[in-house]
Structures are given as C-alpha cells and as structure tokens.
Structure 1
Amino acid sequence: MSEEFCSNCKQTVKPKRIDGRYIIHEIEHVLHFERGILYTIRELLIRPGDNIKNFINENRSRLVKPVIFIIVTSLIYTLISKFFHIEEGYIKFDDAKESQIHAINNWVQSHYGYSNIIMGGFIAFWLKIFFRKYDYNFFEILILLCFILGMEMLLFSVFALFEGLTKFSLMQIAAVIVFIYFSWAVGQFFDKTKFASYAKAFVSYILGMLTFGISIMILGVLIDLFTKH
C-alpha cells in the first residue's frame, strides 16, 4: 500500500491543502452544480409539478436536494432583504418588544430557511387533508413544499432586489405572484386537469400560514406565562 493512503480506511493520510479550487469544489458539491441549481430553478419555473413528482417517484439526481435548496434560497433572500433593509416577512405582529411573541417572530424572520421548513409542516398537514385520496405521505408532501417554498424565496429575492434598487414598493406584488405560483405548482403536482386542485392548494396555503402564525402566538403566550411565574 502506498504511504499516501491509510491501510485501514483507504483514505489519504494527508489531505490536499485547502485552496481556491477546494472551496469551489465544495460549493459545487453542496449546490449539486453537476446537474445545476440553475437547471433546477428553470425546471421549477416551467414544470414544477411534473419535475417534483419525478423527483419523488423516479429520479432524485436531476434536481438539487430539496432541503439544501430551500435553505440556500432562503439565505439569498435574507441577505438581500437585510442589505436593502426590506422588512417584509410572512408573519408580522404588533406586539410589545419584551414579549416572547416578538422574540419568536424575530427568530422566524432571521432564519427563513428553518422557519420555511417548519411552516411547510403546517401547510403539508392541510395538503394531506385536502388531497388525502392521493398516495403521498406527509414527508413526500414536505419535499414538494421544500422545492416550492424555495422558489418562493427566489421570487421574493428578485422583487426585494428591485425594490432595493428602485425604491418602489414591490413586495406586495411579490406576495400575489407567490400565491399564484404556489397554487399553480401544487395543483399541477396533484392533478393539473382539475381546477379544484389549484383551489385546494390555495386554501391549504392560507390555512397553513394561519395555523403557523397562531402557533407562534400560542407558543409566545405560553412562554410568557411560564417565565412570569
């Protein structure tokens, strides 16, 4: 055995020195650039339902991994919104700054990647109810939402960038487009031929966001009650 390799684990005894090429390789590996994050974005813009269904049922190498996708796209939005001081979020509360609801809401708006996945769980619950006749379990629906909510973050990012550059208020327009995209993508995933699929997707999104917001308020109130005693 060559001295460059360990006889037990077959790994190099001394790894190569970290340089620019190593960093680029790591970024490529994380973003799965061999298939392409840009390819994933294009496919999710053109045929979201078909591509996600293919990812779940047949080929999982064509698209970027869903959890990584939503975290990376959420990070992009966070960086743009913080840079331009655009304080638009999913959930907003007019509460006292010392309350736990305010603290939780700040965490949500500072960690969009994780909070999107958590909110996705609420939306997945409602989608599972409305589309219960389809043979998709909760976690498969959650994967669907990782892709779709990730695309929403990119759409918000584009509008946040233009709002920051032009000073025009564009985030309300972005919210409308995001609602339309979500309903279209989810409806296409379940049954693109039925209008009811798009309507149920829209209602599931609204209910998911509402229950997510209500859960934040309940959690904040409970923490306030326990900490005050």
Structure 2
Amino acid sequence: MICKNCKSEFDFNFCPECGQPSKLKRIDGHYIIHEIEHVLHFERGILFTIKELFINPGQNIRNYIFENRSRLVKPVIFIILTSLIYSFINHFFHIEDEYIKYQGLEKSALFKILGWMQNNYGYLNIMTSTFIAIWLKLFFKKYNYNFFELLIMLCFVQGISMLIFSFFAIAEGILHVKLLNLAGMISIVYLTWATGNFFEEKKAANYVKVLMSYLLGMITFFILILAIGITIDIITKH
C-alpha cells in the first residue's frame, strides 16, 4: 500500500514512517466524543496542563522543552484555546465595555488596530510574547535559553493568565461587581512568579528582572502599535 500521508510503501496496519493508519475510521459520534475526551483528559489533556502550570510551572515547562513534549497540551494551541475562552466570556457578558473606551479615536487607524486586538486575544498574546521574550533574553543571557524556548514558556504562562481573567470575568458577569482590576493584579503576580520559577525560583532578583521584562515588552509593543497607527493615518490623509 501507499501511505496517503507521506507516500511511503508499507504492508502493515500503520505506516512505519509516519504512523498513518492504512484505513481511517469514519467520523461518527464515537469519534467526536473521543476527541473531546482527548482534549480534556486529566492525564495528558488541558486539565492536566492547567493543574501542572499552577502547581509547578517552571519544572513542567523545562520538562516540556528538554525532556517530554507529550505530557502537556501544545503551547500555541494552549494560548489560543485559553484566549478564546476569555474572548467568549467577555463577549457574552460584555465585561470590557466598562473598562476600555476609545473616545476621540473612532476615525483613526489606531482605533481599528486596537479593536482587532480586543477581538483576537490569542494572536495578541503571541505578538506581545515575542516582545517580552526579547527582553527576557536580554535579562537572562546566562541561562542560554533561545528566543523560541522563551516564547514557548510565555505561551504556557500567558494561557494561565487568560484563565485567571476568565474566572474573574465570569464572577463579574454573575455578581455585577467590577473584578477585572483584581484579575489583572493576580495575573501579574502569577506571571512574575511562574516565569521566575522557570529560570531559578530561589533568586529574588530574577523576579524583579521578570517583572521589568513584562513591563518593557508591553511598552515596546504598544509603542510600535501606536507608531503604526499614526503612520497609517498620516499616509491616508495625504
């Protein structure tokens, strides 16, 4: 037989080159249930990933990078999924309407850019993580993590941050009490602790450098966004 995935010849139930089965089962209700169970499975799915990232983020992320990449949910999938959860809750309860206002910017390119960012937190988190990773690389040179390893770490911890916001967004939507500011503070504490834990948990100076990296990364990112918005407005007006 010829593998429909990698085009190799094989005589078994599964291709020895890529693992593709010789015959795919039809998609039915059992298949859908199995896929949902696979994602939510507490042993290796998203619930397990959340638990491990809350309990011991540094060790678990280091294990993912250097030893075993099958225990945790893929980091990019994790950040996009958790961001979608928050976006859904936010749109359902209209939480951010009370916090984010762009008065006077309605006709600017910056308004459209900020609006897109607010509706696409998954992509936004990945973009901001790239800037934070640059500053982490500068502050933590001696640890020899490359840029992409730092980006993977940030996808995991930013995903937990999104779940923290999701929890408080649900509470605010139900109780009608403003809680997102509290969520922001708890999120910053978690991000600082988890990232410092990734490098070396017993060094207090690391947590200061981590916090500076997050602040400088966010500032750098939004300065760039502001510059892009102003540039587009200048060009379009001419």
**Fold in common (TM above 0.5):** yes
Q: Which residue number corresponds to residue 187 of structure 2?
A: 178
d(CA) in 1 for partners of 2:148 and 2:198?
A: 15
Per the alignment, in what secondary structure is the counterpart of residue 87 of structure 1? helix
**Residues 3-42 of structure 1: matches in 2 within 5 Å?**
7-9=1-3, 16-28=25-37, 31=39, 33=41, 35-42=44-51
- 2:137–2:147 contact (8 Å) kept in structure 1: yes
Q: Which residue number corresponds to residue 4 of structure 1?
A: none
Residue in structure 2 matching 1:68, options 77, 80, 86: 77
Mapped pair 1:227 → 2:236:
yes
Q: Deviations over 1:24-72 (max 9, x none)?
A: 334455x373612111100000101111111111111111100000000
d(CA) in 2 for partners of 1:162 and 1:119?
A: 26
d(CA) in 2 for partners of 1:183 and 1:92?
A: 28
Mapped pair 1:166 → 2:175:
yes
Look up the equivalent residue of 2:154 and give its one-letter code. L
* CA 1:58–1:94: 2 relative to 1, 3 Å: farther
* CA 1:88–1:21: 2 relative to 1, 3 Å: farther
* CA 1:91–1:118: 2 relative to 1, 3 Å: farther
Q: Which residue number corresponds to residue 194 of structure 1?
A: 203
Structure 1 gap ranges (5+) = 1-6
Q: Which residue number corresponds to residue 57 of structure 1?
A: 66
Q: Which residue number corresponds to residue 134 of structure 2?
A: 125
> In terms of mean alpha carbon deviation, does 38-47 or 211-220 score higher?
211-220
Look up the equivalent residue of 1:210 and give its one-letter code. I
- 1:89–1:109 contact (8 Å) kept in structure 2: no
d(CA) in 1 for partners of 2:130 and 2:74?
A: 18
Mapped pair 1:85 → 2:94:
yes
The Cα shift of 1:141 comes to 0.1
Q: Which residue number corresponds to residue 156 of structure 1?
A: 165
The Cα shift of 1:217 comes to 0.7
Q: Percent identity?
A: 57
Q: Which residue number corresponds to residue 140 of structure 1?
A: 149
> In terms of mean alpha carbon deviation, does 90-99 or 63-72 score higher?
90-99
Q: Which residue number corresponds to residue 115 of structure 1?
A: 124
RMSD, aligned CA: 2.1
- 1:36–1:64 contact (8 Å) kept in structure 2: yes
Per the alignment, in what secondary structure is the counterpart of residue 216 of structure 1? helix
| Matched pairs, number | 221
Q: Which residue number corresponds to residue 16 of structure 2?
A: none
The Cα shift of 1:90 comes to 10
- 2:40–2:47 contact (8 Å) kept in structure 1: no
d(CA) in 2 for partners of 1:147 and 1:88?
A: 27
d(CA) in 1 for partners of 2:187 and 2:52?
A: 17
d(CA) in 1 for partners of 2:231 and 2:74?
A: 36
